[in-house]
Chains A and B, each alone.
Chain A
Amino acid sequence: MLKLLSELVRKDLRIFVADRRSMIISFSIPIILACFIGFLMSQGSSGEPKKVSMSVVDQDKSTFSRAFVAKLQKSDSVKITEDDEKTATSMVRHGDIAIAVVIPPDFGKNAASAMTAHTAAPEYRFLTDPTRALQAGMVQGTVMRTTMQVLPGVVFGSMAPSQDDQMPFKVKSEFQTSDKSPATSMAAHAFAGMGLQGLLFWAIEAAMTIMIERKMGIWRRLRASPVSPWMFVLGKAVSSTIRAMAILVGVYGAGFLLFHFRIKPQAECYVGFALIALAAAVMTSTFGLLVASLGKNAQQSRGLSTLAVLGMSMLGGAWFPMDFLPQFMQTISKAIPVTWAINGFDDMIWRGGGLTEALQSVAVLLAFSVVFAVIALKRISWEPEAG
């Protein structure tokens, strides 16, 4: 039986290697995507504060507004230009900046009066790009903080406390990664996400070959042999798992080489990483069988499964951090294998998890594999069409 199984696997591996173009695509697409996303994410988390560009429209021209602009110019979080309202509006609309703040006439006088005599507070006008709400929100916070730092000095003169002493505390961020490097952690996360997504897309292609084999009459010939259909399915599952493992090794190999992240140097993390990779490969391979069993034809299966892979990748955190998703979607993501695979890989590389966390991911991935395999075996039809 093992001899026969090895022949079934060997044949699939020979076909995989013989079709050079498909093989190169299987390896290169996830690597290219992971490198691209990893590069973007690691740039965004390098720890260096990044200044957001903004425009200030000073229509007040008061002592306060001059002091406010001067203070903003020294800010670590924004980079400002002073413009008239028409220019500032145009810059926002053309996407040059995320936000402009308009200081209306008499703002300083009215703000001082509101502070001392509790009269009506004046309003800043923020001109914002709705697609860049995060940057706009950050700028609004900076404007508020700067106003509260500058206004007392203008109103109370030397009686006001020193502007720099307004905040009675300081903030220091500590990144919770095993190597204290947020850039490599983000890259490792990107490789986990894109690696998994690439594997699932590859599984769809593997499923298509099963469907094409069926259409070509190869299944008919296989069924005429004395070998049980379960043996053919097992052969497909084993060969797909080996190919998926090879792709994962290629993807992570590229990540280790290009982005210098590493598995946490502990034996349990090496073992955990290998087990998660194996479980993810098994899950991918059974997902391929599921795809092959569900659609009535290759085109239909490809369309539906592509949608499923994109959904699983997005909800599983392969594209962007899960925090971007609404709470209910974050809850749904627990029921998606991609989430567990990515979390498992992240645990072994930069989150500092151990074998316990790895085994959790492995158990969930294998459970998904069993579900996929059972559905696939129930759905696969061996009977040819009428002739």
Chain B
Amino acid sequence: MTPLLQDGPSRPSRFDLPALWRAVRPRSPSAVIVTALLLLGAWIMVFPFIWMVSSSLKPTSEVFAPVFTIIPKTFAGLGNYYSVLFDQPYPRFLLNSLIVCVGILVVQLVTAIPAAYALAKLKFRGSTILFGTVVASLTIPINVTSIPIYIGIVKVGLLDTHVAMMFPFFISVFAIFLFRQFFRTFPDSIIQAARIDGFSEMEIVLRLILPSAVPAIAAFSVFSFVAHWNDLYWPLIVVQSQDKMTATLSMMQYQQEFYTDYGKTFASATVVTAPMVIAFLLARRHFIRGITMTGVKG
């Protein structure tokens, strides 16, 4: 665990002005310059979000006005968001994304945790081969297996269904790998003692191992949810009707050059981006740990 994003020990309280001053007081000229540059860089990083939200509140004519203002001159936010949320099927798109992400995560956890426990703590023939297969599969991205999986889905007539959108991600070899490493650190003596006390193996998994693995499960859940919410590639392949479109996939609608209702475009972009950004701001440390422990981005 790294001490990322921990608040400093002397965090000033809201009304303690001397302490606040001590915390932000400049220390040396070069430190001030570096801090200023870092804040400028941060402004550049955040600017696209500010521009997006600002434009989502503007009428189309003002989005590309010669001089950009953060606060709209004419406020068109209500109309833009009303249109996105009620005239267009955005609630449906968001629901589709939610169904797919939750469905994927539940199946991933239900299949990976027992397998990881068996690989970590039980002796059985074939465990080495299975674990080797898991490690080898770690390197295979969906882009490589998409063609046969797509053909299979077409042959069984499941194209354009939620199942098709979730299927390739029902197993996460990464989750198996991660949870196995985590379970291996669980002391064998406690498991032995539980067995002697008459616990069944299922009880051991559910009542001892699972509670101890909550941090790993939480981190993996964040990773899985973010990755599949933001995924464009697979929905682009298996989704055909607007009825099954995910929020992320809906962004493809705006690539046409003749689509010029910019206020609404960026209102929908804001609606699509908001869930992950808000979740990140609420659970910063979990997000950073979950996404970086994988070394796999989106």
Do A and B form a real pair?
Answer: no
Residues of chain A having any CB pair with chain B under 8 Å: none
